[in-house]
Structure 1
Amino acid sequence: MIETNTGRTVTFGVNVDPVVVPAGELVALARAAEDSGFDLIGIQDHPYQAQFYDTWTLIAYLAANTRSITYTPNVANLGLRPPTMLAKSAATLSRLLGGRVVLGVGAGASGGPIPAMGGVDRSGRAMIEYAEQSIELMRTALRGDIVKLHTGQLDVRGYRGGPAEPVPLWVGGRMPKMLGVIGRAADGWLAPGSSYLKPAMVPRLSAAIDDAAAAVGREPASIRRIYNVQGVVGAPGAADLAGPVDAWVEWIVDWVDRLGFDGFVFWPMTDPAGQTAVFGNEVIPRVREALAARTTVAPR
């Protein structure tokens, strides 16, 4: 079923916060997401938060307790996770799970928490160079090729990557230079949360990705666009983005058509279990129906 102008079926994910609660609570939420029709679970990566579990460990645990849903860090912090080991972790987990992994990455904020945990404090040009070079290394490793790179940011002296796995690389960011990295090197753009990136801001940022892709001979439409959407299905006023099921269906179809998104990660701002159920069981099917009806050609 063609649902977007790129020919892709729209993907739906839900955020699961890595909060330190009994494991059974998080497993129940992951299973509810899987049973409600979501394709993906995204888990933020802020290991310096004492109240958060480690994201990669949690993903592995939840994946072992679910059947078919895909997982992604949203996004893995390159400031604290060396790209060679991150690729190894992603390839390993993808092979063990039969491909249920997307590697979402971001450069990581400068200052504060990263050096507090022993990471290098990068900012500006150094951060962008490190992020782009890290993506290059991870792509090489995920292909199972010889991984070697010596620059001012990275010194990898040569090893064979593997297991070779076709793990997609999605990159988060909204600053101009990071958008350039996404256009040149990423498989997908994990657009920041709608609380920070309003829909009206998206066309300008998406165009920057297109320009960067075209400049290096890539097809801009090959880059997926995934929107992190923070809100509540319910009464208006409950969050910045809140409304009944009908309103959510209209918003998402509009964002597919007008903004070019082909994926969404829903961040419930209240009652995660209840909101996950209503979004999965009511919003997602209605969106799919609306998109299917729009693309159906009436018989002559």
Structure 2
Amino acid sequence: MQNSAPSDWLEAELADIIDEDYELELEDATLSREIARIYRDRHPDTIDRRVYFDSLIRLQSELIKLQDWVSYHRKKVVVLFEGRDSAGKGGVIKRISQRLNPRVVRVVALPAPSDREKTQWYFQRYVPHLPAGGEIVLFDRSWYNRAGVERVMGFAEEDQVEEFFRDVPEFERMLVRSGIMVVKYWFSITDEEQQMRFLMRIHDPMKQWKLSPMDLQSRVRWEQYTKAKEEMMARTNIPEAPWYIVEGNDKKRARLNCIDHLLSLIPYEPVPHEEVTLPDRVFNPDYERAVLPPELYVPPKY
């Protein structure tokens, strides 16, 4: 800063922001040339990268304002992200939370229930993760597992599924009555798009960990998942917590559309901020910095 203009420093900071976004995009690019070519052929009209980054940064700046508003007014927000495997839920959650304070915005992705949790009231393991005042919680899959994977894969009996359908509307109404805003997104992709994304994961060593035996079974049971989703939508789309469907075949457009829509649902406004000033550093003429042994330092390989 001492040897450069503030505008140069700010430009460098913005470049770092672009680089950070680009690093995330590389997750979608570590593919063999052939698979990358096929994917480009399938998505010839995808949004221009420059337009995408500009739009994403603008939306993320609005998310910061939303975060400040939620924190200042002690609001409580829950956002559920549901959809088929590889539909893009994780990608949009990353972009929403990327520049936000993790003390305000939390991501919850619960593993399969333990033997003990299986004996509890079904919603019990989700309740501790609900927001307190001034918090936003993003559920990467949620209690709707019972209406989807648990039902299709036979982990829940039909009477348990029926009980879930009876209970979930009232459960969500209870949340809303308690002051929690509940937003529910379903990410929709086609059969062909999911097949393409699964093939990309199979052939990408950096993404193979995302594939589980359950994911592969979801290909076999595509139609069963479709029927389960249709009934879930019909029976749980309530005025207090409606479903919103995000067209997910184009990942970049899906992210922008979802973030933009989420911002439109919440009447956030600018909130007062105390002026931040950097205090002067206190110098003690009697203090002498200790020389630490070199073995304590991480080797500077890069």
Larger radius of gyration: 2
> Counting helix residues as a fraction of each chain, which structure ranks higher?
2
TM-score of the two chains, using structure 1 as the length reference = 0.28
Higher relative contact order (CA 8 A, sep 6+): 2
